Amino acid sequence: METIKIRDEYIKLGQALKLAGMVESGLDAKMEIQEGFVKVNGEVEVQRGKKIHPGDVIEYNGQQIRVINE
């Protein structure tokens, strides 16, 4: 499982997907999230503005990313 580091208290789901390199643009993130292809902590998430906190795990396209503090 890979990790991404954040400095703030949280990061929005769409931003996290871009930071992790899972999608190329915000539009791609929006579409993939709205289509139900992204999970957060094992649950399908359809809100791209969902707050992702350190310790959360994002799943997309067979990859898992854990968010950690910097």
Q: Which domain holds residue 26?
A: 2-69
How far is it, in rounded angstroms, from Cα 49 to Cα 33? 10
What is the per-residue pLDDT for 54?
A: 98
Cα–Cα distance for residue pair 10/37, rounded to 1 Å: 21
**Domain harbouring 28, CATH code:** 3.10.290.10
| CA–CA gap between residue 57 and residue 55 (Å, rounded) | 7
Tokens of 34: 């709205």
Count of domains for the chain: 1
Question: What pLDDT does residue 62 have?
Answer: 95
| Single-letter amino acid, residue 56 | D
Handedness of CA 54, 30, 46, 60 (dihedral sign): negative
Q: Report pLDDT digits (tens) over 38-66.
A: 999 999 999 999 999 999 999 999 999 99
